[in-house]
């Protein structure tokens, strides 16, 4: 059974009979996990194994494990720094900033791969313009050049650990104040401004074969009358044709308030699919997910199915031996370095005190 176009979530920490039935639906292609699905690394590994055993090719399993505020799995995993910490280090030393970003990205990906998760919805490629608190320190900085450099290092790190990357939120979510979880944000800038600033990190990673992109639930009225995630102009004309992107396009969550203008959830899913999304994400609303599954029960897109297969994780990291890997040890050291840097910047220690020097 090929991978379908719908990614949905689960309620608990293990599969029940209803979950197994739903995940066997031909329109399902993947599962997105949340903190409520996690108790321990062992339990998580059992959950992912049970999901993967249901179908062939196995369903994709993704999670938001960016670091900082957005890290779904914590106990038993390394506490990852926010992307903004790499930006702070990069401004002091670009080489060290990229080295740290690459090492921590490998660490994140290796830990997830060791418990059967295929990919994380990362990196965030938005520019932190100081406007949107939802972006904030989830971004690799305010300037396109530093965001591009750090995001490329992140891409290299996760790939070395056997994981694909998902850049978000195309063409850039940093120029608005509103939260798309609550309302539809509107960015009044012209295409030329977006192209020379916010789109630069996306274009840079696309030239390095970025595997997937998630568009923003943001309206850019001077470019198109439809929000990016529902716009064939943004997804088919700009992303596919002008930027020559060949990877997967994931919708942002269709249960968000910014998507409500498109009607019920099935209508939202059709609009996103018609615009060019390969995978439709529906979170925290099982009735809505079932509605979308019913609407897409007979749909097939062989090209999208091939793209989705490339999102499967590669190789396997034995969790019990991860700490023996030099790459894991480097990653942990870089996390500690970034924590020390943050402490110094917050003024919590005196850098001239011999007791604080390492």
Annotated active-site positions, please?
181, 252
Are the C-beta atoms of residues 322 and 111 closer than 8 Å to each other?
A: yes
User: Cα–Cα distance between 292 and 283 in angstroms, integer?
Assistant: 12
Start-to-end CA span in the chain (Å):
56
Tell the residue number behind the tokens 């090492």, with chain if given: 103
Which residue stretches of the chain are H helix?
A: 17-23, 41-52, 83-92, 94-113, 144-160, 191-196, 200-206, 232, 265-275, 286-295, 302-309, 326-345
Cα angle 119, 253, 223; round to 5: 105
User: Cα–Cα distance between 183 and 140 in angstroms, integer?
Assistant: 25
Both tokens assigned to 299? 């749909």
Cα angle 41, 99, 83; round to 5: 60
Both tokens assigned to 171? 């063409």
Cα angle 28, 34, 40; round to 5: 115
Q: Give the CA diameter of the chain.
A: 68
- Sequence-ordered list of residues with C-beta below 8 angstroms from that of 287, at least 6 positions apart, any chain: none
C-alpha distances (whole Å) from 284 to each of 32, 38, 233, 254, 288 are 10, 15, 29, 10, 9
- Sequence-ordered list of residues with C-beta below 8 angstroms from that of 225, at least 6 positions apart, any chain: none
What are the beta bridge partners of residue 219? 186
């Amino acid at each position: 059974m090929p991978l379908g176009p719908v990614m949905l979530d689960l309620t608990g920490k293990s599969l029940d009979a209803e979950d197994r039935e739903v995940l066997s639906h031909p329109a399902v292609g993947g599962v997105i996990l949340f903190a409520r699905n996690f108790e321990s690394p062992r339990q998580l590994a059992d959950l992912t194994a049970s999901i993967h055993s249901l179908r062939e090719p196995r369903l994709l399993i993704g999670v938001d494990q960016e670091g900082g505020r957005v890290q779904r799995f914590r106990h038993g995993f390394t506490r990852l720094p926010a992307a903004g910490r790499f930006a702070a280090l990069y401004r002091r030393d670009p080489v060290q900033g990229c080295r740290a970003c690459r090492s921590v990205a490998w660490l994140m990906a290796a830990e997830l791969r060791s418990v059967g998760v295929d990919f994380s919805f990362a990196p965030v490629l938005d520019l932190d313009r100081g406007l949107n608190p939802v972006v904030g320190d989830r971004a690799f900085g305010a300037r396109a050049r530093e965001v591009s450099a750090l995001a490329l290092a992140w891409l290299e790190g996760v790939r070395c650990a056997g994981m694909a990357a998902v850049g978000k939120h195309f063409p850039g979510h940093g120029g608005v104040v509103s939260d798309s979880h609550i309302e539809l944000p509107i960015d009044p800038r012209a295409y030329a401004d977006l192209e020379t600033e916010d789109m630069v990190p996306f274009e840079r990673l696309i030239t390095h074969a970025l595997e997937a992109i998630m568009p923003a639930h943001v309206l850019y009225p001077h470019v198109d009358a439809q929000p990016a995630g529902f716009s064939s102009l943004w997804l088919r004309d700009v992303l596919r044709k002008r930027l020559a992107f060949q990877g997967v396009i994931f919708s942002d969550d269709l249960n968000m308030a910014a998507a409500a203008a498109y009607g019920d959830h099935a209508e939202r899913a059709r609009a996103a699919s018609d615009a060019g999304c390969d995978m439709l994400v529906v979170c925290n609303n099982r009735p809505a997910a079932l509605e979308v599954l019913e609407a897409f029960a007979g749909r097939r897109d062989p090209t999208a199915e091939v793209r989705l297969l490339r999102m499967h994780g590669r190789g396997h990291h034995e969790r019990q031996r991860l700490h023996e890997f030099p790459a894991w040890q480097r990653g942990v050291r870089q996390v500690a370095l970034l924590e020390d840097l943050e402490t110094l910047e917050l003024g919590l220690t005196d850098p001239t005190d011999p007791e604080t020097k390492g």
